């Protein structure tokens, strides 16, 4: 066991059974019941005493695990692989960054690894703090080899369960992403009087943005929407809203009534304060445009000469306030007028220096005659190496002229 004065005394390995010495299901180079070779977990040890590190390395390897040792918390943070299964055996009293400080750093960095603390002078408040932060065990020296090995097995079991849960969630996210992409992967209709295109990029596996372009009799209808929040819940609400709008358009329900029904549907249900903004633009062959904006980024109308006008008539988002009256508005398009619809992930996109793409830059680029693809590419160039913080969607419609 390890004594309080940090010296190694005779181990209790003889007390550990053969079964305890072999982590079940984790044999190096061996196959599991499915014929798949699984990796041996790695036990990371952080202790500033070289003799303790050497003793723990020998003990942990003797029971079938791989070991990596570090003398400081900073060294561990610098070298630890983010994807390896295992656990962390961590001394509380470390030079520089303490063990408890390292645990906090791991939590803040979203590095999920089970922690076993060792200390020579642990007290109740310290152990409570460590356990509340997710520690598996708080061992006070002296403790036996069996105590440590049992704690390691417990930690590895917890890590294994956590990885299984993350794998399951990832499969669900992949399935949801595939479904969401399928909902938007329809062929965009191109009518004699109008051309449309759009692009969507979620900031995660799935997002709360969507767009659709459909024909309704002889008209062209374009929808863009942004559901608050991210992840599966936002994607579910987005899919419901997309279906409601599509059905309403195909049934020739007035735009204002589509918005009213969607608002009523979401307000009557407990959605955890989620809401949605959207805009629908309907274009007729003669250039007559009808639109409704429910709390969304105002659409841009770019004329052939490069002038930019915002269609600013708006209504409340859906899902916030019950019994709201919604109204649509109209506009007359001219040949070669171009309409842009974007989500706020475009205007809120940030450069590496922390600048926002913003409305002014959006209007300037649109006035240059950029297509939706070019505008979308400009946003990505603006962000550089900085990841997107919100879903981005750009849709454009060009009115090419009336058809006689």
Residue 78 is predicted with a pLDDT of: 84
Indicate the helix (H) or strand (E) that contains 280. Answer: strand 276-283
* Mean pLDDT of the 317-343 span: 94
pLDDT at 399: 95
Nearest to 355 by CA among 386, 393, 378: 386
* Alpha-helical runs (H) found in 142-196: 145-184
Closest CA to 315 of 271, 366, 269, 258: 258
**Is 183:177 a contact under the CB 8 Å cutoff?**
no
β-pair partners for 88: 44, 115
pLDDT over 50 at 30, yes or no: no
With cut-offs at 50, 70 and 90, classify the pLDDT of residue 18. very low
Closest CA to 67 of 135, 156, 147: 156
**165: pLDDT strictly greater than 80:** no
Confidence of residue 92 (pLDDT cuts 50, 70, 90): confident
When comparing pLDDT for 30 and 102, which is higher? 102
Return the pLDDT at 323. Answer: 87
Q: How is residue 253 written in tokens?
A: 């329900």
Q: What does the pLDDT average to over 207-229? A: 89
Lowest mean pLDDT among 12-16, 40-44, 115-119, 252-256: 12-16
Please give the Cα distance from 279 to 287 (Å, whole number).
18
Q: Rounded to whole angstroms, what are the CA distances from 194 to 177, 247, 280?
A: 30, 22, 16
Instruction: Determine contact, residues 382/351, Cβ cutoff 8 Å.
Output: yes
- Given a cut of 90, is residue 127 above it in pLDDT? no
**What does the pLDDT average to over 110-136?**
70
Confidence of residue 20 (pLDDT cuts 50, 70, 90): very low
The answer to whether residue 10 scores a pLDDT higher than 60 is no
* In contact, 56 and 14? CB cutoff 8 Å: no
Helix, strand, or coil (residue 196)? strand
Q: What is the average pLDDT score of the chain?
A: 82
Regarding predicted confidence, which is higher, 225 or 304? 225
pLDDT band at 50 (very low <50, low <70, confident <90, very high): very high
Mean of pLDDT values over 170-174: 67
Instruction: Look at 127-136, 204-213, 368-377, 387-396 and tell me which has the smallest mean pLDDT.
Output: 127-136
List of domains in the chain: 13-173 (3.40.50.2300), 186-399 (3.60.40.10)
């Amino acid at each position: 066991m390890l004594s309080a004065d940090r010296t190694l005394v005779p181990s209790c390995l003889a007390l550990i059974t053969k079964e305890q010495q072999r982590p079940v299901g984790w044999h190096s180079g061996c196959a599991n019941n499915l014929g798949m070779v699984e990796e041996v977990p790695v036990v990371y040890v952080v202790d500033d005493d070289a003799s303790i590190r050497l003793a723990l390395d020998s003990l942990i390897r003797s029971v079938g695990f791989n070991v990596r040792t570090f003398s400081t918390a900073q060294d561990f943070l610098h070298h630890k692989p983010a994807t390896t299964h295992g656990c962390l055996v961590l001394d509380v009293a470390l030079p520089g960054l303490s063990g408890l400080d390292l645990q906090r750093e791991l939590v803040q960095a979203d590095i999920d690894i089970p922690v076993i603390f060792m200390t020579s002078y642990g007290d109740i408040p310290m152990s409570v703090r460590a356990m509340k932060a997710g520690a598996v065990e708080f061992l006070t020296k002296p403790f036996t080899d069996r105590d440590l090995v049992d704690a390691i097995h417990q930690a590895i079991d917890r890590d294994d369960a956590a990885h299984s849960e993350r794998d399951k969630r990832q499969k669900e996210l992949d399935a949801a992403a595939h479904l969401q992409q399928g909902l938007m992967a329809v062929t965009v209709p191109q009518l004699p009087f109008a051309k449309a295109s759009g692009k969507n990029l979620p900031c995660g596996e799935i997002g709360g943005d969507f767009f659709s372009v459909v024909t309704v009799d002889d008209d062209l209808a374009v929808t863009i929407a942004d559901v608050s929040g991210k992840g599966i819940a936002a994607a579910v609400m987005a899919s419901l809203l997309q279906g409601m709008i599509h059905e309403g358009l195909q049934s020739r329900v007035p735009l204002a009534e589509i918005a009213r029904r969607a608002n009523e549907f979401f307000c009557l249900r407990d959605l955890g304060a989620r809401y949605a903004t959207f805009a629908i633009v309907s274009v007729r062959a003669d250039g007559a445009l009808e639109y409704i904006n429910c709390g969304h980024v105002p659409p841009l109308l770019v004329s052939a000469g490069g002038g930019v006008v915002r269609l600013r008539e708006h209504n409340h988002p859906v899902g916030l306030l019950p019994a709201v009256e919604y109204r649509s508005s109209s506009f007359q398009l001219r040949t070669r007028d171009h309409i842009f619809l974007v989500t706020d992930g475009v205007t809120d996109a940030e450069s590496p220096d922390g600048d926002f793409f913003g409305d002014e830059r959006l209007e300037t680029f649109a006035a240059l005659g950029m297509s939706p693809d070019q505008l979308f590419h400009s946003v990505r160039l603006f962000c550089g190496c900085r990841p997107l913080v919100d879903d981005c969607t750009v849709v454009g419609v060009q009115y090419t002229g009336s058809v006689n």
